[in-house]
Structure 1
Amino acid sequence: MSFLRPRFKGERALIAGIAIDATGSGMYVPFNLIFFSHVTDLPLAQIGLVLTVTSLIALAALPLGGAAVDRFGALKVLIVLYLVRALGFALYPLAHSLPAFAVLALVTAAGTRAAPSTLQARFAELLSGTDRDRMQALSRSLGNAGLGGGTLIASLIIATAGDHGYVIAAWLNAGSFVVAALLATRTPASPHADRNRPSRKGGYRLVAKDPSFLLLALSNLSLAIGYTSLTILLPVFAIKWLHVPQGLIGSAFIVNTALCATLGVPVAALARRRFRTRIGMAQAGAGLFVLAFVGQIVLGTVRPENNALAMTVLLTCVVVATFGELVHSPAASTLAQAAAPAALRGRYLAAYQSSWALANALAPSVFTALVSQDGRLPWLVIAVTAVLGAFMLRLAERRLPADAVYFEPPAAKAEPAEAEAATG
């Protein structure tokens, strides 16, 4: 299969690291508070407070990480972030005091915040054109498969080892980061041409003065809030508004994870053939989000008493939203990579990643406030923000370079025809 054929030496090592990283994360992400409660023996309320505070403080790691990428290259920064998180999870079982846990939580949260934009910069260093789109889809697919596999492994360990299974999972996660770091060393060094050229002065001020990139980031913020609906809004909506039994809600996460893991690459490849531009592909994904969210509004209006019918409609909406994710995500992420100037790529992608961080920070309070008024209201809000996000993409299209907007820039297509005419 052509979409799995490596484009550079070390690509298999890079994607294996992504999969292993995701598998390790899958061992604790679904359990989160319970995981840290068993690993550290601290009270649940203290753990929740520390994780919230450190997560907010760790937002500062995004601009710092972006500047480090521009200074040292994405490879070195990525390896350091892997090792920082490995150290954090290796030491968590020893953090029985609140200060020790807070320090480790802050360090690992900072590494986790900075990692996605660093990985995006790494893709941009190693790939160009539609190969970036392919890698976006492949990494997302592997990430979802890894999360699902890690959750299954952790569940089996906890089932057989009891409470000690959480400590084992912590150390296995630490080991996964070490392996990912070792695999990263088998990939090409960051291009010296990007790092050693005279740096453009201004740093983040230049990002703030770039209207086209700011539109991309604002568009992503508008749509990223919708991405969080599966984990934050949907369970509350289904249980509190539709009165669906709690035990059935897990099926929505299983469907989403399975579809992302198995169909991410082929759906993205099909969409690239269907659309001429990344803007068009991203807008199509936004349109699917709107359709899914309107479907939830209709479901919340009818509120069928039959649980089987309610779950059928709800899962159908989840499937539609998942396809929206599979179409929008790779196109939007590659747009950001291609629009970022090479000399400031780290800073640009860190700024873009902040839209995800802000959406994740805002979503819990926004959704809980709205759903307490009316279960349909949050779906209406994120449907509107998805429409706004698609509109901002259209506005950005006029300002972005052709090689960012088009999968194959018109100039590249015209060159062979011009050469043939000249020889004729």
Structure 2
Amino acid sequence: MLRLALPRRPEARRILVGTFLSAVGRGLTLPFLFIYLTDVRGLSDARAGLVIGWYGAVTLALSPLGGTLIDRFGARRIVVPCLFIEAAGVASLALVDSTASAFGAASLMALGGSAIWSGQATILASVTGEGERQRVFGLQFALLNLGIGVGGLTSGAIVDTARLVTFQAIYVIDALSYLAPAVILLTMPAVGRRLADPAETGVAKSGGGYLTVLRDRPFRRLVIFGLVLTTCGYAQIEVGFTAYAVRVAEVTPRVVAWALAANTVMIVLSQLVVIRRMEGRSRSGALAVVGVVFATAWLVLGAAGLVGAGSAFAGALCVVACAAIFGFGETMLSPVMPALTNALATDELRGRYNAMSSMIFGISGVIGPVTAGPLIGAGGGAIWVGVVTGGCLLASLLALSLRPLLSAAQDGRIVVRETVDEPEPAHR
């Protein structure tokens, strides 16, 4: 089954290898930035929060520019420098000794990270055919989570807040991991060039840019769906899920760690099975199912708040089950969202389409954490559960409303079979 999921072109397979290697490095540091800045480097909680928030805000602000540059100069010419800049920013975290230097490192990381995800998605879409694109994006997500899981387990056994060098080591290794996809792209000069000339296609004359993207009604509906789903779904994991589990369900932080591990295991074990079963099925229907699955996960977490006081084991079981169920929903969302985005995109604006799609997570990442705390504090957590559950179900309705706006091919109900692998056009 794994072989069936692999992309046809060797360039795509090499890009996936780079994704995995960089994900291992990312997993080393992902859970520890706040702890590193506060417990190791001595920043206050408020200042550390501002640094992390600044990184998210700058990344979000620069993302539209990244999409424009990708379309104008080609994804490879933008992604490779961004990977080196990101590596420099991550490495500089090992040397921060003040709030100012932490802001400087965060700014450098944001500058590099603003175009990496959308650029890599654009490159991967350009070296995969429409018929295989959905499962390749799903495989990328599985490798991403596997790498993060491996990195997280490794760093958990290494780091010690009493030993600065352990944190410096993982940030240096994380920085080096960003060089892996950069080197891979440097060895493939024919990949990631500009896909089309806007002047030749008439986009520039018609207003071009993000105005053209926003005039795409199906894509607008997809963006609205994504904002609602991620705000009530993904964006709640870091703050809402953890806060509810610890404060309302009264489980220990170790149970939360087990739950996140269960989430990763679910993704890694089920992703390939899910993408195989989804082939030839409606993408809008799959997105609707994702909303229902996420809503179910939050209801299970809500049950943890009800039973946790009477049975610590039952509460912990519900928390772990919530994360596992949520992971199953992720296995459907991860291949469909980028595949549908690129099915709607045109070559001359593919970078902008992918940039807007990645911005969904940035915007929801600001809204979700800000609203989670007050909602959990009100009504003993019941209001928060009601809001995020209702939001996920609303997203399901938005996904169903998307289907009439899509062709059968865009919706994935017709499987396109490619028989010849042609290299991408070499527009300079």
TM-score relative to the length of structure 1 = 0.89
Q: CA deviation at 1:385?
A: 1.5
User: Post-superposition shift, 1:322?
Assistant: 1.5
- Cα–Cα, structure 1 residues 258 and 192, in superposed 2: closer, same or farther, change >3 Å? same
AA paired with 2:191? A
Q: Per the alignment, in what secondary structure is the counterpart of residue 200 of structure 2? A: coil
Q: Deviations over 1:32-69 (max 9, x none)?
A: 12234577665554333222224213311110110011
Q: Which of the numbers 363, 387, 391 marks the counterpart of 1:385?
A: 391
Correspondence for 2:130: 129
Equivalent residue number for residue 252 of structure 1: 259
Letter in 2 for 1:34: I
Code of the residue aligned with 1:86 in structure 2: it is A
Confirm or deny that 1:212 pairs with 2:218: yes
Change (3 A) 1:113 1:134: same
Report the Cα offset of residue 155 of structure 1: 2.8
Are 1:324 and 2:329 an aligned pair? Answer: yes
Amino acid at match of 1:262: L
Distance between the aligned counterparts of 1:295 and 1:34, measured in 2? 29
Which stretches in structure 1 are left out of the alignment for 5+ residues?
414-424
Matched residue SS, 1:402:
coil
Deviates more, 1:213-222 or 1:162-171: 162-171
Structure 2 counterpart of 1:330, one-letter code: P
Does 2:351 align with 1:349? no
Gap change, CA 1:392 and 1:147, over 3 Å in 2: same
- 1:177 offset after TM fit, Å? 0.8
Asked whether the 8 Å contact 1:28–1:35 carries over to 2, the reply is no
Partner Cα distance (2:366, 2:212) in 1: 25
Cα distance, 1:407 vs structure 2? 4.5
Gaps of 5+ in 2: 418-428
In the alignment, the residues of structure 1 paired with residue 179 and residue 197 of structure 2 have an alpha-carbon distance, to the nearest angstrom, of 26
Assess if the C-alpha contact under 8 Å between 2:295 and 2:389 holds in 1: yes
More displaced stretch, 23-32 vs 374-383:
374-383
Question: Is 1:272 the counterpart of 2:279 in the alignment?
Answer: yes
Query: What's the offset of the Cα at 1:161?
Result: 9.6
Kindly state the Cα deviation for residue 388 of structure 1 after the two structures are TM-superposed.
Answer: 1.7
- Cα displacement string for residues 189-232 of structure 1 (whole angstroms, at most 9, x for unaligned residues): 22555247625122111122222111101101111121233322
Query: Cα distance, 1:162 vs. partner?
Result: 2.9
Q: Which whole-Å CA distance do the structure 2 matches of 1:81 and 1:41 have between them? A: 29
Q: Contact 1:299–1:310 (CA<8 Å) still a contact in 2?
A: yes
Residues 167-188 of structure 1, C-alpha deviations (whole Å, 9 max, x = no match):
1111111111112210122344
Aligned residue in 2 for 1:146: 147
How much has 1:313 moved relative to structure 2? 2.4
TM-score of the two chains, using structure 2 as the length reference: 0.88
Residue 123 to residue 270, structure 1, CA distance change in 2 (3 Å): same
Give the secondary structure class of the aligned counterpart of 2:250.
coil
How far off its partner does 1:394 sit?
A: 2.1
Would you say the 8 A contact 2:256–2:320 is kept in 1?
no
The residue number in structure 2 matching 1:168 is 169
* CA spacing shift, 1:388–1:216, aligned 2, 3 Å: same
Please report how far the alpha carbon of residue 160 of structure 1 lies from its aligned counterpart in structure 2 after TM superposition: 11
Select the residue among 221, 225, 243 that pairs with 2:250.
Answer: 243
Match of 2:409 among 387, 403, 406: 403
Aligned residue number for residue 27 of structure 2: 26
User: Which residue of 2 is the match for residue 369 of structure 1?
Assistant: 374
Query: What is the aligned partner in structure 1 of residue 420 from structure 2?
Result: none
Q: Which residue of 1 aligns with 2:340?
A: 335
1:156 aligns with 2:161: no
Residue 83 of structure 1, CA deviation:
0.8
C-alpha separation in 2, matches of 1:185 and 1:10: 12
Given that residues 207 and 347 in structure 1 are in contact (C-alpha distance below 8 angstroms), is that contact kept between their aligned partners in structure 2? Answer: yes
Q: How many residues align?
A: 409
State the SS of the aligned residue for 2:30: coil
CA contact (8 A) 2:375 2:384 kept: yes
1:341-372 deviation digits (Å, cap 9, x = unpaired): 21111112211221111111111111111100
Aligned 8 A contact 1:129 1:407 in 2:
no
Deviation at 1:304, TM superposition (A): 4.7
CA distance in 1, matches of 2:170, 2:151: 9
Per-residue CA deviations over 1:267-325 (Å, capped at 9, x if unaligned) read: 2212336xx21112222222211222233334434555111111222322322222111
| Aligned mates of 1:235, 1:324 — CA distance in 2 | 18
RMSD over aligned Cα atoms: 2.4
Give identity over the alignment, percent. Answer: 24
Q: Secondary structure at the match of 2:196?
A: helix
Q: Residues 251 and 389 of structure 1: is their aligned pair in 2 closer, same or farther, counting only changes over 3 Å?
A: same
1:314 is matched with 319
SS in 2 for 1:189: coil
Contact 2:78 2:115 in 1 (8 A): no
Q: Which amino acid aligns with 2:249?
A: L
Paired residues of 2:195 and 2:347 also in contact (CA < 8 A): no
Contact 2:24 2:148 in 1 (8 A): yes
Evaluate the alpha carbon distance shift between residue 368 and residue 192 of structure 1 in structure 2; reply closer, same or farther with a 3 A threshold. closer
- Distance, in Å, in 1 between the alignment partners of 2:377 and 2:39 is 32
Q: Is 1:296 matched up with 2:298?
A: no
Give, in angstroms, the shift of residue 22 of structure 1.
0.8
Deviations 1:99-130 (A, max 9, x none): 34322211202322432222221222111223
Evaluate the alpha carbon distance shift between residue 39 and residue 17 of structure 1 in structure 2; reply closer, same or farther with a 3 A threshold: farther
Alpha-carbon distance between aligned partners in 1 of 2:171 and 2:332, rounded to the nearest angstrom: 34
